[in-house]
A and B are shown apart, each in its own frame.
Chain A
Amino acid sequence: MKQVSLEVLREEPDVTILHLSGEIGLDLVPQITAVLEEHRQKGASHWAVDLSRVDFLSSPAVGVIMGLRSRVIHMHGSVSLFSASRELSEKLQLMGVDLAIPSYLDKSDFLNHFRWEFKGASRSVRLTLPAEIRAVPPTRRLIAGLLESKGYGHKDAFVMETIVDELSNNAIEHGRPSDGIFEVKLDFDRREARLSVSNRIDALSGEEKSRLVQSYEHPRVDPGSLRGRGIALVKKLSSRVNCRVDGEKVEVEIVRKREKP
């Protein structure tokens, strides 16, 4: 088997994989440099290095990979590593490589992240929860944590926490779900987050339904009242708010654009 080979991924043709195998010492550096350079000049901008069969990676070889990163970054490209053994991962960390080049568990994990970063892939969260007020704090903390784990800023996460809190409290307190549960759905990508909170209710009259929908479309704040500011706040913090009453289900959906990092 060749110690150095390239593969353009069939499932993701923008990605070129550099497969390395065995001990990658100084002797292989000219060969690696040549194949990378030849392919890069043909326009390959997204690269991943498969380390699954690498027993040893010398620092000059690491230098070649770092050099590739410097060149493709100007083309809005990327370089990643995947499937490094535990020992190799530790060595790369000691060399500070992880600060510049992300490393993934395996090819599938790499592709998952690549599609999020460069192909607009989204992530989803589905929660079915007891309709109890004490279920709300862990829910908002979970949503904020998931957003932050994908690079959303603290402000975005805090705003979404606030929205989750308001909509969940409304679903529990005012919705009084007949089946004792409420549901939270979140779909998000790098640009926006779409959150919905829903619950079952006893059937509403036409007038009640219309009043409920209106309260989300045109929230009114009574300065003298201690309550009723939540919907206005949600509306202010969201790019879009929509309330649907479908039979015995109420669903409030908001869309919020991510702030520029």
Chain B
Amino acid sequence: MQKVQTVHLAVSEDSDFRPSLEKAVADYICALGWAYSDASLVESSVGDWFERNSPGSGRFFSRLEIRKQDESVVLSALDAEGRNVAGKAL
């Protein structure tokens, strides 16, 4: 079986979903053992990234890719066509 190190998350655009999605990103990174720092640091980095890209309770990216790459985890927001529109290496 292939070893896959990518998670794709896509949810409907609904501002109610943002807290769960934000929490899930950090949750996947930690649960899959991809984090190179402790859980609270991962949560805070993911939270900062969401906040910078969609401040307050504003719109957020509803299609995300989390990818383990070499020594880091790359978080990407994708548009409807799957193009990368914002990213961050954790």
Contact = CB atoms under 8 A, between A and B. Distances in A.
Interface stretch (B23-31, B43-51, B69-77): B23-31
Nearest to B13: A112
B88 interface: no
Interface of A: 86, 104-105, 109, 112-113, 116, 122-132, 134-135, 137-138, 141-142, 145-146, 148-150, 176-181
B15 A105 contact: yes
A138 B28 contact: yes
Interface of A (DSSP majority class): mixed
Nearest to B26: A138
Nearest to B5: A130
A112 B17 CA distance: 12
B1 A126 contact: no
Nearest to A136: B31
Contact of A180 (B2, B12, B27, B32): B2
A134 B29 CA distance: 11
A72 B16 CA distance: 25
A124 B27 CA distance: 20
Contact of B27 (A86, A130, A132, A141): A141
Contacts of B33: 134
13 contacts: A112-B15, A125-B9, A125-B10, A128-B6, A130-B3, A137-B27, A138-B31, A146-B20, A149-B14, A149-B20, A178-B1, A180-B2, A180-B4
A149 B1 contact: no
Contacts of B21: 142, 146
A179 B6 CA distance: 12
Contacts of A113: 14, 16
A134 B13 contact: no
Contact of B17 (A128, A130, A149): A149
Contacts of A137: 27, 31
A129 B32 CA distance: 10
A116 B15 CA distance: 12
Nearest to A185: B10
Interface of B: 1-17, 19-21, 23-24, 27-28, 31-33, 56-59
Contacts of B16: 113, 149-150
Nearest to A123: B12
Given A141-B24, A145-B24, A149-B16, A128 B8 contact: yes
B11 A135 contact: no
A228 B6 CA distance: 30
Contacts of A141: 23-24, 27
Contacts of A125: 9-12
Contacts of A181: 4
A129 B7 contact: yes
Contacts of B1: 131, 176-178, 180
Nearest to A181: B4
Contacts of A123: 11-12, 14, 17
Nearest to A186: B11
Contacts of B5: 130
Given A138-B24, A177-B1, A130 B32 contact: yes
Contacts of A124: 10-12
A142 B20 contact: yes
